[in-house]
Amino acid sequence: MTDLVCGLMGFLSLTGRAGDRVEEVAAGMRCARHRGPDDAGTWNDDDVVFGFNRLSIIDIAHSHQPLRWGPPESPDRYALVFNGEIYNYLELREELAAEFGARFRTEGDGEAIVAGFHHWGKAAVSRLRGMFAFLIWDTELRVLFGARDPFGIKPLFTAVTPDGIAFSSEEKGLRELTGAAVVDEAALQHYLVLQYVPEPATMDVAIRRLESGTHFTLRPAPGAAVHPERYFHPTFVPSRVTGESERNALYRRIADVLDDSVKAHMRADVTVGSFLSGGIDSTAIAALAKRYNPDLLTFTTGFDREGFSEIDVAAESAAAIGVRHVVRKVSEAELTGALPLIVWYLDEPVADPALVPLYFVANEARKHVKVVLSGEGADELFGGYNIYREPASLAPMTRLPHQLRKGLAAVGRALPQGFRGKDMLRRGAIDLEQRYYGNARIFREEQLPGVLLTYSPDRSFRDVTDPIYARSLGSDPISRMQHVDLFTWLRGDILVKADKMTMANSLELRVPFLDPRVFDVARTVPPEHRVQGVATKVALRKAMELIVPPHVLNRKKLGFPVPIRHYLKEGSYDWARNIITSAQTEQYIDAAAVVKLLDDHRAGVADYSRPIWTVIVFQLWHEIFVTGSIKPEIPEPVYPVFL
């Protein structure tokens, strides 16, 4: 397999002068060198410039990018830049050779993509099992084809310039063409509610994302624009499972498909490790990976504060499944000190505090391995979030007549802030589409006018979620919530932090749960086998009973918890106050209102740590990418090529 989990950049000229943009593309690639520090290359003709940063894993003497391929009669017809991994590339190469006589010059997966496109057209994308974002230029038909993987594991950003359309794995590379970032006010409002900017927008008005599960075809003509076409339509279609034999058959299907996915994700000629927290997801992945690498290394992180570390549980799990284990503790000073650099790597404000320990554990892992597995996606596919229990807990209210529900909501509004049950009364009085918009709910809509100076009542999170809900009409509430999370929380937060924090450390991260074959099984799990009472991921836990140690099997989900609630009251108060008051964001953020939140938080009025953190991350992003007043020192990638 080639090592194409790296960074790409491309420019399609609409004037036939692509050569004029070679230097900007090269500069953009240098901004993202951490994604692929081992090799770099560019290629261009009159219409296209392609650039690539490579993280070398195998086939180092070949498979360089931009990659050229074509049929025997036109061996260099196509040019490809590809960020990702195709886990079924060997099977695809065999099929293409047997059916069409396709020939290959390398041992890599890149040629499987371009040969598949040549013979199957855009339908080839649906045959790919992996994570990917790629561009293919057809030098004969003068057509650009691009695609992104079904779940959005790998990013692809795009920007329109006066003379063309640019693409990149990193936003900062595109700013070599678009200039300093300009805040998208609608994106900022969504961010303060959701803690991330939902696709296809970014915080920069000039840059957009190609949505997950889509592809596009583009010709270099005046007025050309990217019009994505969706090829992946994830829906949950629960099957009917009755009786012990059918339940056991379901558990076997889950265990078998997950084992098959982990086996495929272990394909590599370099050392593959695994992240390991204290929960079932990463423990299941590590335990299965141990079958295919007896010398598996696992990695975890935590803080020296009670309740904010899973180090002991992870170490117990590592011992139980028989793997070697590496621990990286993070201090409060490291957390605050690294945040500007982390935001630089992010490109985009994402206010998930778990970014920080993830950055540090990835940094530690890269000293030992070049590839890690992780458990992202299990919660969205198998029903793992505690909020998925809400339809059952609110059922006594949601079944009441509308007027009675309104009366209960009025009672809730009259209760004092912090009163137990106040929020449940509010949420039980409103419909699912109005109350659920993802796992992170930072500022409620009614709280925004006091903080966001550009607030508009004409904008709402429902602008994002209503079209998604419309595609799941008739489904049960849990399925609808999971469906929303696939298109919002998963690709806006979970996968962004996974990609950016590992790539910041030139580390490849693979996510076996987010495999089309795993999803094909997960989508059939009945709601009652996802959530039962207080239990979540019921079917997955049953399927993993013989694989995951008992102390983890039914343990509450924590992930990598971060003690910002305590830090902002204590040692990090002055740090936070300085950022809030000194940032040049006065046209967007009422700094005095945020300082009051910080002071009330320290005084114990309420826990405002997440809203405060969300504002701080935006302000750091603004000072880095808009004003340029903060310039993090970017470390040079120094990791060895071979591991």
Give the relative orientation of helices 185-194 and 609-625 as an angle to the nearest 10 degrees: 150
Q: Which of 5, 6, 327, 350 is catalytic?
A: 6
In terms of DSSP bridges, do strands 48-54 and 7-13 run parallel, antiparallel, or are they unpaired? antiparallel
Determine which helix (DSSP H) or strand (DSSP E) holds 257, and give its type and residue range. Answer: helix 243-265
Give the relative orientation of helices 390-398 and 402-414 as an angle to the nearest 10 degrees: 110
Q: How far apart are CA 309 and CA 263, in angstroms?
A: 29
Q: How far apart are CA 623 and CA 632, in angstroms?
A: 11
Closest by CA position to 151, among listed 462, 408, 381:
381
Closest by CA position to 383, among listed 482, 236, 280, 516:
482
248: CB partners within 8 A, 6+ apart: none
Q: How far apart are CA 575 and CA 583, in angstroms?
A: 12
Determine if residue 39 is labeled as part of a ligand binding site. Answer: no
Q: How far apart are CA 477 and CA 385, in angstroms?
A: 14
Tell me how long the chain is.
Answer: 643
Determine if residue 423 is labeled as part of a ligand binding site. Answer: no
341: CB partners within 8 A, 6+ apart: 632, 633, 634
Q: How far apart are CA 92 and CA 120, in angstroms?
A: 11
Tell me which DSSP letter residue 471 carries: T
Please say whether the beta carbons of 14 and 221 come within 8 A: yes
In terms of phi and psi (left: phi > 0; alpha: psi -120 to 50; beta: otherwise), the region of 243 is left
| Neighbouring-strand partners of residue 218 | 144
φ/ψ of residue 219, rounded to 5 = -115, 145
* CA 84 to centroid of chain Cα atoms: 14
Q: Can you read off the two tokens belonging to residue 52?
A: 């690539």
In terms of DSSP bridges, do strands 214-218 and 48-54 run parallel, antiparallel, or are they unpaired? unpaired
User: Could you confirm whether 31 is annotated as catalytic?
Assistant: no
Please say whether the beta carbons of 264 and 130 come within 8 A: no
Please say whether the beta carbons of 339 and 620 come within 8 A: yes
Please say whether the beta carbons of 627 and 620 come within 8 A: no
Closest by CA position to 361, among listed 317, 277, 299, 309:
299
Amino acid sitting at position 400 = L
Determine if residue 3 is labeled as part of a ligand binding site. Answer: no
Please say whether the beta carbons of 258 and 288 come within 8 A: yes
492: CB partners within 8 A, 6+ apart: 194, 196, 197, 198, 199, 350, 438
φ/ψ of residue 627, rounded to 5 = -85, -25
Q: Is the dihedral of CA 486, 488, 494, 499 positive or negative?
A: positive
Query: Kindly report the CA angle at 418 between 416 and 420, in degrees rounded to 5?
Result: 95
Determine which helix (DSSP H) or strand (DSSP E) holds 49, and give its type and residue range. Answer: strand 48-54
Please say whether the beta carbons of 79 and 10 come within 8 A: no
Ordered DSSP codes for 341-407: HHHHHHSS----TTHHHHHHHHHHHTTT-SEEE--TTHHHHHT--GGGGHHHHHHHHHTS-HHHHHH
Residues carrying an active site annotation: 6
Residues forming the annotated binding site for ATP? Answer: 374-375
Residues forming the annotated binding site for L-glutamine? Answer: 109
Residues forming the annotated binding site? Answer: 109, 374-375
